[in-house]
Chains A and B, each alone.
Chain A
C-alpha cells in the first residue's frame, strides 16, 4: 500500500478545523510536523497494529431479530415439549430471576420483550450441510450449501430486550447509556483507506434507532449512506438543476484553484487544505459511486448468483453485489441493513413461520451468492462476511404463532478472511434459552473483526473518552483459522 496516499486520503476525510473534535486536527498537525500532542497520545496512522488476516468487512444485519431456533440453532427438544410451560420442564431453572437479571428494560411494561412460558415447537425442519455437517434450518438451504465456509456462533447474548439492541449490537452499549461509536466507525477510524475515489465506510438499507456511527469520533466517521440506484446513489450526487458536466468539472477546478491561491494568505490553515482534498474526493466520488452500482458489465451468471433474476431476491441481491464491487475497489466496511419498518422486518411476534419464510427467501440466495462469488474471485480470503441480528426469539410462544424478543441466547455467523470454515461454536441449553457454552457478548464479534483486520482496539482509545472493558470484547479465538 502506498502510505503517502493513505495519509492524504485520511486527511480529507479527517476531522478538521477547530471544532470540538480536536483529535483529527491534532492528527493532521502532527502529520504535518506542526506539533506533537502534549499528552503523548497520537491518533491512528491508518496502518494496522499487527499483520492483518483480512482487509474488508461486509456486515449483513437482519433487523428485527431472527429466530436462532429456526435458523442456525436447532432445538428438537422444543418439539417434544411443545405446549408445556417451561416451569414444568427440567429447564425451569432458566427463568431463575438471577439468570434473567442481565436484561435492562427500556420500555417498562411493554407488550413485547416479555418472558413467554409456553414452549413453542420448531416451525421449520433442519438438515445437515457440507462436510462439517452443520445443521441449518430449511429456510436457509443456500446458506447451508456454504456451511464449510462459515463459523456459526450459537451462544451470543445481549442485554436490551427491545430493538435498541440494534444499537447495542453495533456499538456494544445499551440504548440507555451514552451513544458511542459503532464497530464500522472504529474500523473506519483505525484503518487507512484502500480507495482514492470511494468512502471507506458505506451503509445501505434502512436504519431507525441510530443513524449515526462516529459519535465522539465525529461525523467524519459516520457511514456514508448509499442507495442502490445508479441514478441517485448518494445525497447530492448530481446537480439538482441543469448544469452540464463540463460546467461542473470547470467549477470544481476553479474552486480548488482559488483555494490553493488562498493558501498564500493563510499558510498552515489545516481546514483549507482538508477542504481542497474533500472537493477532490467529492468530484471523484460522484463519478465512481454510480459506476460501482451499475451492474451492466456483470455477467448474467453472476447476476443470477445473487438472485437478480428473481423479484424476491433482487433487492437484497443488488445490495450484496454492490457490496462485493465496493470491497473489490477498496471500501473497508460495507454495512447492509435488511428489513423495513421501525422495528425491522424479522420481528416475528406473530406468524413467525410466514414472516421468516418470506424474509429468508429474500436473503438466502443473495447471501450464498455473495459467499460463492467472493470465493471464486479470491476475495473471500481478505473479506469477512458477518451475518447477524440484534437478538434471538423466545423458546416460548407469543400469541398462538409468534416468538418474542430474546436477548439471552442467539446465533450469528461469520465467514471469510481469517475465519475457520465449517465450525459450530458455542451453544445454548437444550431449549435454546441461555447461551451456555462459550457465551459471547456482542462486542466479541467486534473484537474478532478488529483482530483479523490487525487492529488493537485499546490503542485506538481517544483521550477523554473512557471505553469500558465490555466495549472491547474478546476475540472468539475458536473460530479463527
Chain B
C-alpha cells in the first residue's frame, strides 16, 4: 500500500514527511478539513468567497473559483490549492496572513489529493453565521404544559421540567427551609441571615413567606452592594494604579462609578438605561453629576502611555461584557470564526476615537487629589480612524477614513449618530454655581492660614526686636561700643594684650605668649589649656572676647569659663570639630562634664576668622551674643558660685585679641528662656523678621484680592456663556471688570514677589553670600520693574482674565503640555457613543439581553446557561437550555430590563430551591446527566472572597453597614469593618485576606475562579480576621442563649454558621472535641475555659466546607 508521491512538485522538506504518509494515514474530516477551516474559511467560506472560491466542502474545492478548480484529485500539478499553499513568494502564498502552512500540513494535503481527495458524500457546507442561534432575536416560546404539579406554577420550572421529562430525569427535592434562607440571602445580599431573620422566616407559615423574605432582601441596600460587586467583576472595576504617584491606569476617585453601580441596582434602573449612561451619560445627561458617574466604565480604561492599548481594551471588553463577542480577534485580521471583519473592528474603534477622560470638581472640594468626578467627554471629533494593517498602529491604511459603526452583520439600521450640542455647564464646568462658592471658601481657608502666619511673623518680629535691644544694651556696656555711651563704672577689667599682664592673668597649662596685641596658645591635642584671671568676676556680668582659631587636630575649641573654683566651672565655647561644629554651653555636676542639648547651637566655625563672643550672665540665665547676634539663651540647671574667668583652648591654635569683663547693671533685663523657647527661629535678625512680616502681609493682600477676582471672573464667564442670548455689552462690561480685578491681583502678586526677594536677600546678607546677594539683587530689580509694569497695566486693564477652572483633564500622553491640558473643551459631542449604547440596549439586539441574563443566571446557579459567558459567537454551541435563556431574555426586556425582577423571577422558581445533595437522587439521572446540564439538582457554589469576609463580620455583629464613599486602604492599621467592596482594589493594592479566595482579576473577570488550595485553609485557620470573628461570634451566641450546655451550644452554632441542625454523630464529635479541649493547658488555664473551648469550636465551623459554600 505504500505509495511514494511524485517528488518533483513538493518542497524537499515536505516531501520527506509526505513520503512516509499513505492514504490510510489521511482522513479528510480529521486531517484536512480542520486545516481548511482554520486557515482558509475566513476568505473562502460562507461569508466571503474571494476569487469566487469556497473551500468548505469537497464539491466546492473540486469545482473551484475564478482561477479554476482548487484541487484535481490525483493530480498534484493541477491542484491550485497546493500550488498556492506551498508558494514561496509571499504575495502568492496562501494564506496571506500569519505563518505559512507547516510542512506537515502541506504533506497531508498532498497525500490527500494524490490519493484521490476523498470527501464524504453528504458533506454539509459551512453554516451561514447569520443563522447562528445567538445572532437570531430571542423569542418567548409558549410555556410547555406541565403535568407534574410542583413544576407547573413558574415559567422557569415549566421550561426546565419539559427537559426533565424529555430526557427522563428525576429532579431532586427542594432544600431545607433554613438552608434556603441562607442561600437566597447570601445570593441576593452577600450576607448571611441573622438569627432573628431565620426566626421570622421559619415562623412564618403563610404560603407567601418565601416571597416575602425575597422582597425584603431585594429591598435591602445590601442588595445593590452584592450585585454591584458582581457587575464590577464583569466591567473590570479597578482603582487607579501607576508608578509611585504617577497615574497610568484607570482614574483617581473611580469609586464614584462603583457607587453609581450600587445605586442603580438599588433603584432598579433598567439595564438598558444603565448601558446608555455608562457609555454616554455625558451626551444624554451632560450636567447631571449623579448620572455622569456611570462613565467611570469608560474612564477605567484610561492608559497614559498608549492610546491604542487604551482603545483596544475598551473595544475588547465592551464587546465581551455586553455583547458576548470576541471582537479583539479582529484587530489584526478578519475573525477566524465569527462574521466580524477587521474593518468592523476599526468602525467600532471610531466610535471611541474622540473620547477622553477628565476629573470634574464635586461640590465641597477644590483639591482634585482629594475628590473629583472621573468622567468622559469627546475631545477630538476631528481625529480620523484608519485601519491598522495587521493591527500595527505604525501602519495605518491612509487610503480610507473609517466611519463609526457596529459590526455590519448586526447593523440593521439602528446605529444612528447624531451630534449633541452640550449645555455650557457641561463643557465649562466652572459655570456651575457651587464652583464659585467652593473656591471662595477655599480662599477664605487660605486667608485664615495666612492671617495665622502673619500673626506668627509678627510675634517673631517682636522677639527679634527684644533680642536686638538686649544685644544693643549689652554691647553698649563694653568698651568698643560704637554707641559712645560706654559706662566705665561697670567695667571690671579689659585686656587688649598689648603687653603681658601678669597682674591680670595667671597662665595654666599650655604654650601661651603675648605678641602684637594678641594672646596666643600654641599647643594642640585633646587637653585643656587655660589662662586664669587673678580676680573673681562679679556674680552678674558680661564678658566679651574676640578670638581666632587657627587650627587643631580635631576639636578646635576656644571659649570662656566662669565660676571657676576648684573643680567647678561653667563653660561657653565655640568648637570647629567636623562634623558637628557648634557653640556649646557646658557645666560640671557630680557626674562630670555635662553638654546639654538646649545649650548647643549647631553652626559653621571657620578657621582664621575673628569671632566676637559676648556672654551675659544673670544668676543662672545666660544670653550669648555671637558677632552681634543674640544666638543662644540658656538657663543653667546648677547653682552659681563665685569664681574666676578662664580663657580656654582645647586642641586649638588659639589667638585672643580682646577680653573684657563688665558688671551687669540691675536694670538690664536679659532675654528669658521662656521667650527663647517660643522662638523657633532664634537666628532671625530684626531685618529678616521685618522682611518676613512684609512677605506675609503681601501674601495676605494677594489672597484678599482673590474673592473679587473669582467673583468678577465668574460673572464674566457666565455672561459670556449667555451672551449669545443677552446683551453683549453687559458681558463685555463684566469682562472688563474681571480684567481689572485680574490686573490688581497681578500687581499684588508682583509686590509679593518683591517682598519675598527682600526676605531672601536679608538671609543672604547674614550668610555674607556675595554670589547669592548679587543674584538676588538682580532678581529684585526685575521684580520691581514688574511691579511698575503691573501698576501701569491697571491703567489699561484690557479684557483678559483667567476663567475659573473646575476640571482637570487626564493627560492624553505623558508629554502633553499644560497649555493643551488647559484648552477649552468642545461644546458638542459626537453622539457616537449614544448611538452605540442605544444600539446595544435595543430590544432588537439579539445579544445584549441574552448575555446579561446569562451572567445573572450564572451567579445564581454557579453554572451559566451558555458556558462561554463572554463568547456567544459561532464557537458557542446552541445551549441545552436555549429556550429558557431566550424566554428569560425576552421577559427581561419586556420588564423594562429590570434586574431586580429577573432576580425575583429566578429565585422564586422551584428550580432555584432544589437541594444540592445527590444523596437521594435517582441513579439513572446521575448517570444520564452528570454535569447537570438539565438542572435536575443544584450545584454548590464557593462563596466569593467578599462574601466570606462579609459573612464573618455579619455573624460577629461587627459589620459597619455604611454605604458608598471613597475607597479604603486595605493596609491601614485601624480595623475596618466596612463591606469588602469598599477596599481599594488595583494591581498594586489588594486586600490580603480577599486575595486568597480568588478575588476579581482587574484585567478580566467574567467569571470568578473557585480554586481550592491549601493557602485558603491557612487563611481561615490562621488569619486574625477568622480567629477574632470566631471569638465575637462565640460571645454573641453565649449572650443570646445564656449559659447553655455544650450540646445546646453546638446546635446553636451549627444553625447560625451552617444553617443546619447537627446530626447525632456531628453532635457527639463536637461534644468530644469540647471535652478534650479542656485537657489542653491553653484552654484549662484560660480565664474562661468554657468560652475558650467554644471559640475553638466556632472557629472550626468557620473552616467547615459548608461555611464557605452556598448550599
Q: Give the interface segment out of B213-221, B614-622, B1013-1021.
A: B1013-1021
B1019 — nearest CB in chain A belongs to which residue?
A236
Residues of B496-541 at the interface with A, using a CB-CB cut-off of 8 Å, are: none
B44 sits at the interface (CB 8 A): no
Residues from chain B with Cβ under 8 Å of A241 in the complex: 1024, 1027-1028
Residues from chain B with Cβ under 8 Å of A236 in the complex: 996, 1015, 1018-1019, 1021-1023
Q: Assess whether B930 is in contact with A35, with CB atoms less than 8 Å apart.
A: yes
Complex CA–CA separation, A247 to B940 (angstroms): 30
Complex CA–CA separation, A12 to B1013 (angstroms): 7
Q: Could you tell me the distance in whole angstroms from the C-beta of A255 to the nearest C-beta in chain B?
A: 5
Q: Could you tell me the distance in whole angstroms from the C-beta of A287 to the nearest C-beta in chain B?
A: 11
Q: Give the interface segment out of B342-350, B731-739, B821-829, B1061-1069.
A: B1061-1069
Q: Could you tell me the distance in whole angstroms from the C-beta of A285 to the nearest C-beta in chain B?
A: 5
Q: In the complex where A108-B305, A285-B1018 touch, is A279 in contact with B1080 (Cβ < 8 A)?
A: no
Which label, helix, strand, loop or mixed, suits the secondary structure of the A interface?
A: loop
Q: In the complex where A17-B942, A258-B1104, A278-B1017 touch, is A237 in contact with B814 (Cβ < 8 A)?
A: no
* Total A-B Cβ pairs within 8 A: 210
One of A106, A239, A271 near B1022 (C-beta < 8 A): A239
Q: Could you tell me the distance in whole angstroms from the C-beta of B604 to the nearest C-beta in chain A?
A: 32
Residues from chain B with Cβ under 8 Å of A18 in the complex: 862-863, 939-941, 1010
Question: Which residues in A have some Cβ–Cβ distance to B below 8 Å?
Answer: 12-22, 29, 34-35, 105-110, 176, 179, 199, 212, 218-220, 224, 234-244, 246-248, 250-252, 254-255, 257-259, 261-262, 264-269, 271-272, 274-276, 278-279, 281-283, 285-286, 342, 464, 469
- Size of the chain B interface, CB-CB below 8 angstroms: 73
Complex CA–CA separation, A218 to B1009 (angstroms): 7
B491 sits at the interface (CB 8 A): no
Residues from chain A with Cβ under 8 Å of B309 in the complex: 106, 176
Q: Could you tell me the distance in whole angstroms from the C-beta of B246 to the nearest C-beta in chain A?
A: 11
Complex CA–CA separation, A24 to B1076 (angstroms): 38
Q: Give the interface segment out of B108-116, B891-899, B915-923.
A: B915-923
B46 sits at the interface (CB 8 A): no
B1063 — nearest CB in chain A belongs to which residue?
A261
Q: Assess whether A250 is in contact with B1096, with CB atoms less than 8 Å apart.
A: yes
B635 sits at the interface (CB 8 A): no
A211 — nearest CB in chain B belongs to which residue?
B987
B328 — nearest CB in chain A belongs to which residue?
A178
Complex CA–CA separation, A15 to B1008 (angstroms): 12
Q: Could you tell me the distance in whole angstroms from the C-beta of A159 to the nearest C-beta in chain B?
A: 12
CB-CB contacts of B627-650 with A at 8 A, as 1s and 0s? 000000000000000000000000
Complex CA–CA separation, A371 to B931 (angstroms): 50
Residues of B1002-1057 at the interface with A, using a CB-CB cut-off of 8 Å, are: 1003, 1006-1019, 1021-1024, 1027-1028
Q: Could you tell me the distance in whole angstroms from the C-beta of A63 to the nearest C-beta in chain B?
A: 15
Q: In the complex where A12-B1012, A19-B1007, A254-B1070 touch, is A248 in contact with B1021 (Cβ < 8 A)?
A: yes
Complex CA–CA separation, A106 to B1069 (angstroms): 59
Q: Could you tell me the distance in whole angstroms from the C-beta of A344 to the nearest C-beta in chain B?
A: 13
One of A19, A234, A267 near B942 (C-beta < 8 A): A19
One of B1008, B1011, B1013, B1073 near A254 (C-beta < 8 A): B1073
List 6 additional A-B contacts (Cβ < 8 Å) besides A237-B1018, A247-B1096, A258-B1104: A241-B1027, A254-B1073, A266-B917, A266-B919, A279-B1017, A279-B1103
Contacts A/B (CB < 8 Å), 24 sampled: A18-B941, A20-B1008, A22-B867, A35-B931, A199-B1014, A219-B1011, A219-B1013, A220-B1012, A235-B1018, A236-B1018, A243-B1082, A244-B1082, A248-B1021, A254-B1070, A258-B1066, A258-B1069, A258-B1101, A261-B1065, A266-B918, A266-B940, A269-B918, A272-B940, A282-B1021, A285-B1018
Q: Assess whether B1012 is in contact with A16, with CB atoms less than 8 Å apart.
A: yes
Q: Could you tell me the distance in whole angstroms from the C-beta of B443 to the nearest C-beta in chain A?
A: 38
Q: Assess whether A282 is in contact with B1009, with CB atoms less than 8 Å apart.
A: no
Residues from chain B with Cβ under 8 Å of A254 in the complex: 1069-1070, 1073, 1097, 1100
Complex CA–CA separation, A254 to B312 (angstroms): 51
Residues from chain A with Cβ under 8 Å of B1012 in the complex: 12, 14-17, 220, 271, 274-275, 278
Residues from chain A with Cβ under 8 Å of B1077 in the complex: 247, 250
One of A29, A246, A469 near B99 (C-beta < 8 A): A469
CB-CB contacts of B938-968 with A at 8 A, as 1s and 0s? 0111100000000000000000000000000
Residues from chain B with Cβ under 8 Å of A106 in the complex: 305-306, 309
Chain B CB count within 10 A is highest, among A21, A239, A247, for A247
B998 sits at the interface (CB 8 A): yes
Residues of B990-1008 at the interface with A, using a CB-CB cut-off of 8 Å, are: 992, 996, 998, 1001, 1003, 1006-1008
B1105 sits at the interface (CB 8 A): yes
Complex CA–CA separation, A219 to B863 (angstroms): 19
B1099 sits at the interface (CB 8 A): yes
Residues from chain A with Cβ under 8 Å of B306 in the complex: 105-108, 176
B195 sits at the interface (CB 8 A): no
One of B930, B942, B996, B1096 near A251 (C-beta < 8 A): B1096
Residues from chain B with Cβ under 8 Å of A105 in the complex: 306
Residues of B1057-1096 at the interface with A, using a CB-CB cut-off of 8 Å, are: 1063, 1065-1066, 1069-1070, 1073, 1076-1077, 1080-1083, 1096
Residues from chain B with Cβ under 8 Å of A108 in the complex: 305-306, 813
Q: Could you tell me the distance in whole angstroms from the C-beta of B680 to the nearest C-beta in chain A?
A: 38
Q: Could you tell me the distance in whole angstroms from the C-beta of B1065 to the nearest C-beta in chain A?
A: 6
B316 — nearest CB in chain A belongs to which residue?
A178
B1014 — nearest CB in chain A belongs to which residue?
A282
A162 — nearest CB in chain B belongs to which residue?
B305
Residues from chain B with Cβ under 8 Å of A283 in the complex: 1017
B136 sits at the interface (CB 8 A): no
Residues from chain B with Cβ under 8 Å of A247 in the complex: 1077, 1080, 1082-1083, 1096
B567 sits at the interface (CB 8 A): no
Q: Could you tell me the distance in whole angstroms from the C-beta of B545 to the nearest C-beta in chain A?
A: 50
Q: Could you tell me the distance in whole angstroms from the C-beta of A330 to the nearest C-beta in chain B?
A: 15
B365 sits at the interface (CB 8 A): no
Q: Assess whether B1013 is in contact with A109, with CB atoms less than 8 Å apart.
A: no
Q: Assess whether B917 is in contact with A251, with CB atoms less than 8 Å apart.
A: no
Q: Assess whether A259 is in contact with B1104, with CB atoms less than 8 Å apart.
A: yes
Complex CA–CA separation, A239 to B1082 (angstroms): 14
Residues from chain B with Cβ under 8 Å of A265 in the complex: 917, 919
Complex CA–CA separation, A254 to B1053 (angstroms): 15
Complex CA–CA separation, A210 to B1014 (angstroms): 22
Residues from chain B with Cβ under 8 Å of A199 in the complex: 1014
Q: Assess whether B1069 is in contact with A261, with CB atoms less than 8 Å apart.
A: yes
B1109 sits at the interface (CB 8 A): yes
Chain B CB count within 10 A is highest, among A199, A258, A272, for A258
Residues from chain B with Cβ under 8 Å of A12 in the complex: 1012, 1014
Q: Assess whether A258 is in contact with B1100, with CB atoms less than 8 Å apart.
A: yes
Residues from chain B with Cβ under 8 Å of A248 in the complex: 1021
B815 sits at the interface (CB 8 A): yes
Q: Assess whether B942 is in contact with A110, with CB atoms less than 8 Å apart.
A: no
Chain A CB count within 10 A is highest, among B1024, B1066, B1076, B1099, for B1099
B83 sits at the interface (CB 8 A): no
Q: Assess whether B996 is in contact with A235, with CB atoms less than 8 Å apart.
A: yes
B868 sits at the interface (CB 8 A): yes
Complex CA–CA separation, A108 to B1100 (angstroms): 54
Complex CA–CA separation, A138 to B942 (angstroms): 55
Across the A-B interface, the 4 shortest Cβ-Cβ residue pairs: A19-B1010, A282-B1017, A20-B1007, A244-B1082
Q: Assess whether A244 is in contact with B1014, with CB atoms less than 8 Å apart.
A: no
B66 sits at the interface (CB 8 A): no
Residues from chain A with Cβ under 8 Å of B917 in the complex: 265-267
Chain B CB count within 10 A is highest, among A199, A237, A261, for A261
Complex CA–CA separation, A281 to B940 (angstroms): 23
B724 sits at the interface (CB 8 A): no
Residues from chain B with Cβ under 8 Å of A257 in the complex: 1069
Residues from chain A with Cβ under 8 Å of B1100 in the complex: 251, 254-255, 258
Complex CA–CA separation, A268 to B930 (angstroms): 10
Q: Assess whether A269 is in contact with B940, with CB atoms less than 8 Å apart.
A: yes
Complex CA–CA separation, A248 to B1096 (angstroms): 9
